């Protein structure tokens, strides 16, 4: 590790759980950020700042004015630009030493396998059930951990899905919600809280530290600052992970 890198990451290298070996692992990691919106904005900023070596930013949308209350990767000068490119530019300003790959596509069944090639972990920044279902199936197939986050209003939730070690997304959510989260109100700080926890979970999983949120769903109610954690149980009849476990 070069001297400039050592200075940049000095405060986290001092942590005995990370140290220089952990920092080198982060530098070698490839993380896909599925969506450069409210969750993807903050999680990718923290992962870039932490020195994750390659961030792949996937988003098909363009920056709109209504995004700016929570999507802090973007600014007024980004309006109308593809979010993936806007995100890549901002992350490059924060850390020019890492690789950032912007991909302006909609995640679907046709491209998910290519998107997940050589990826170590996925951070969810999606706003709808179908895309998360595709992520879930893809990560199960490739045996990749992914970190789910959901936000609405003042409330948020988060868990980590690790194939063969935890329930999967479709174990706990089998139906297509009628209302997309992006159509509902949201306070920007709500997304910031959940995205920050997602970034911490990502670093823990990449470095095999601590106890991740596998088989646990953390829920945060911002109005009264109440945090609850519920145990998650695998569905033996889950259409997504049960066939894989049986094989």
What single string gives the DSSP state of each residue in the chain? Answer: --HHHHHHTHHHHTSTTTHHHHHHHHHT-EEEEE-SSHHHHHHHHHHHHHT-SEEEEE---B--GGGTTT-TT--GGGTTSBHHHHHHHHHHHH-TTSEEEEE-S---TTTHHHHTTT--EEEE---SHHHHHHHHHHHHHHT--EEEEEEEBTEEEEEEE-TTTS--HHHH--S--SS-GGGS-B-HHHHHHHHHHHHHHHHHHHHT-S---BTEEEEEETTTTEEEEEE----TT-TTTHHHHH-
- pLDDT computed for residue 6 by the predictor: 83
Q: Which residues of the chain have pLDDT under 50?
A: 3, 179-182
* Domains of the chain with bracketed CATH: 3-246 (3.40.50.720)
pLDDT per residue over 178-201, tens digit each?
Answer: 544 446 799 999 999 999 999 999
Instruction: Give pTM, 2 decimals.
Output: 0.93
């Amino acid at each position: 590790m070069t001297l400039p890198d050592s200075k940049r990451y000095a405060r986290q290298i001092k942590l005995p759980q990370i140290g220089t070996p952990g920092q080198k692992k982060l530098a070698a990691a490839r993380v896909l950020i599925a969506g450069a919106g409210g969750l993807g904005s903050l999680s990718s900023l923290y992962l870039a700042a932490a020195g994750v070596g390659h961030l792949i930013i996937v988003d098909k949308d363009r920056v709109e004015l209504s995004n700016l209350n929570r999507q802090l990767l973007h600014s007024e000068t980004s309006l109308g630009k593809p979010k993936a490119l806007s995100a890549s530019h901002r992350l490059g300003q924060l850390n020019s030493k890492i690789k950032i790959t912007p991909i302006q596509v909609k995640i679907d069944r046709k491209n998910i396998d290519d998107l997940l090639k050589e990826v170590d972990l996925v951070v969810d920044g999606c706003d709808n059930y179908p895309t998360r279902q595709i992520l879930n199936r893809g990560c199960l197939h490739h045996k990749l951990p992914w970190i789910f986050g959901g936000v609405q209003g003042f409330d948020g939730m988060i868990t980590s899905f690790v194939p063969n070690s935890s329930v999967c997304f479709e174990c706990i959510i089998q139906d297509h919600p009628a209302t997309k989260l992006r159509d509902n109100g949201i306070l920007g700080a709500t997304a910031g809280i959940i995205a920050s926890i997602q970034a911490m979970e990502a670093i823990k999983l990449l470095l095999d530290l601590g106890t991740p949120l596998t088989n646990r769903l953390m829920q945060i109610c911002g109005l009264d600052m109440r945090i609850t954690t519920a145990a998650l149980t695998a569905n033996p009849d889950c259409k997504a992970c049960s066939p894989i476990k049986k094989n």
